[in-house]
Amino acid sequence: MLTIGFDAKRYFLNYTGLGNYSRDLIRILEKHYPENNYIKYTPKLGDNLTSNQLADKKIQLPTSKISKMLPMVWRNWNIISDLKRDKVEIYHGLSGEIPIGLQKAGIKSVVTIHDLIFLRYPELYRAVDRWIYDKKAKYAVENADRIIAISEQTKQDLMSYYQVPEDKISVIYQVSHPAFKTEKTEEEKERIRLKYNLPRDFVLNVGSIEPRKNAFQIVKAIEGLDIPLVIIGKETHYTQSIKEYIASKGMEKQVVFMKGLSMDELATIYAMANIFIYPSKFEGFGIPIIEALYSGTPVITTNSGVFPEAAGPFSNYIDPENVAEIRKSIQLILSDPELANNMAVKGREYAQRFNDEIIAQQIMGLYHQLV
């Protein structure tokens, strides 16, 4: 039996990317390897906890007065005494950082690095944020015993930007929520369609609505096509420029913005979509692509970087800046039901490499190598 501690801040406080990664990773380990002791360390608990989460006895909060007052100090330094008290053998930093002093305390460590976008596209970040991200990531990759990169792309970036030795990095993919792996009935789809007044046919984009994700190009691509677009994600300042364009072109009824859905609702909408479009400029992995593949929805995505790795050989690839190319790909799939069905079936088959059991086995194998 192993005792493994996790940096669970985002497990409890982040309801999208890093939070989903944390919850899904711990979920699959608890399911497939229940004999181990898994302890979640977090500075505080979120507001949207389920009763099961609240009943979890393996949650550790700061106990000392100074750690409660200064949670950052606890996460970076004071947590070490808690890990020693709990006899933690391996500490896993799930979001690109680890506390200082693990090696001196005799605790093995693993860190997951999702991406180095702040180094690749520094113009997307404030200078102070870039400095913080770089400082944390650099310390983590230099001091962790092993690094998990969530894609080959991230592995190559670690070797390029931080000169990390290749043998220190394991590529272990991210899993997706079980909601995307269950077949949706026509009744479930119709209920969601009526609840949110969704069209019968539509193309779908999911992810924060920000310049890197490139939703603007999809809006331009569907202009003049007889197909609506549903965009699901957190809105940013970039969203306003998209909405202004939509208004100037009289496309208000053609583009639907949504957010705040439950995971089951989101998974049902994936399954309802004719096409999933993800023309992002760069990602560490691109979990929405995997969600679409599991949902049996044909995927159009970027022709470089991590995207072919995530989407596989049966998706359609485009230059994310080429509106005409995106439009042509949409038209091709919509006009050829046999092609769309083949993409859906083969894409779902490809997604099986990201199954929970496979990923859990790889992670547990890495832990055992350390101890």
> 164 φ, ψ to 5°?
-75, 130
94 and 25 Cβ atoms separated by less than 8 Å: yes
Same-domain check for residues 220 and 289: yes
Query: 10 Å Cβ neighbour count for 205?
Result: 26
Mark whether 213 and 161 lie in a shared domain.
Answer: no
Confidence (pLDDT) at 63: 87
Residue 48's pLDDT is 67
Measuring CA to CA, which residue among 99, 105, 92 is closest to residue 39?
Answer: 92
Q: What's the Rg (C-alpha) of the chain?
A: 21
Q: What pTM did the predictor assign?
A: 0.91
Q: What's the angle, vertex CA 212, arms to CA 208 and CA 216, rounded to 5? A: 80
Task: Give the residue carrying structure tokens 């979001």.
Answer: 95
279 and 167 together in one domain: no
| Amino acid 100: pLDDT | 97
pLDDT for 314 equals 97
Let me know: does 146 contact 110? Beta carbons within 8 Å. yes
User: Which residue stretches of 4-120 are H helix?
Assistant: 9-13, 17-32, 51-54, 65-69, 71-73, 79-85, 117-120
Pull the structure tokens for residue 67.
């750690």
Q: Which two tokens stand for residue 340?
A: 């769309």
- Whether residue 110 sits in one domain with residue 185: no
Tell me the one-letter amino acid at 128. V
C-beta of residue 299 within 8 angstroms of C-beta of residue 276: yes
198/340 same-domain check: yes
Instruction: Tell me how far CA of residue 299 lies from CA of 77, 318, 330, 359, 363, in angstroms.
Output: 44, 11, 10, 23, 28
- Whether residues 219 and 270 share a domain: the answer is yes
Each residue's pLDDT tens digit in the chain (371 positions)?
Answer: 999 999 999 999 988 888 999 999 999 999 999 999 999 999 998 776 665 655 566 999 998 888 889 999 999 999 999 999 999 999 999 999 999 999 999 999 999 999 999 999 999 899 999 999 999 999 999 999 999 999 999 999 999 999 999 999 999 999 999 999 999 999 999 999 999 999 999 999 999 999 999 999 999 999 999 999 999 999 999 999 999 999 999 999 999 999 999 999 999 999 999 999 999 999 999 999 999 999 999 999 999 999 999 999 999 999 999 999 999 999 999 999 999 999 999 999 999 999 999 999 999 999 999 99
User: Whole domain around residue 88: which residue ranges?
Assistant: 3-175+355-370
Same domain, yes or no: 150 and 14: yes
- Measured between alpha carbons, how far is 154 from 116 in angstroms, rounded to an integer? 7
Q: Domain holding 17: CATH number?
A: 3.40.50.2000
Element containing residue 137 per DSSP (H, E): helix 127-143
At position 339, the amino acid (one-letter code) is L
pLDDT of residue 52: 60
- pLDDT of res. 93: 98
Q: Are residues 159 and 203 in the same domain?
A: no
Q: Helices marked H in 33-126 — which ranges? A: 51-54, 65-69, 71-73, 79-85, 117-120
Residues listed for the chain: 371
pLDDT at 124: 86
* Spatial CB neighbours of 13, under 8 Å, sequence gap ≥ 6: 19, 42, 44, 46
- Domain identity same for 241 and 349: yes
| CB-CB contact of 98 with 111 (8 Å) | yes
Q: Are residues 94 and 188 in the same domain?
A: no
Beta strands in the chain (DSSP E): 3-7, 37-41, 59-60, 90-93, 108-113, 146-149, 169-171, 203-206, 229-232, 255-258, 275-278, 299-302, 316-318
Judgement on whether residues 218 and 229 belong to the same structural domain of the protein:
yes
Give yes or no: residues 105 and 24 share one domain.
yes
Q: To the nearest 10°, the Cα dihedral for 151, 156, 160, 163?
A: 80
Tally of domains within the chain: 2
* Predicted local confidence at residue 279, as pLDDT: 98
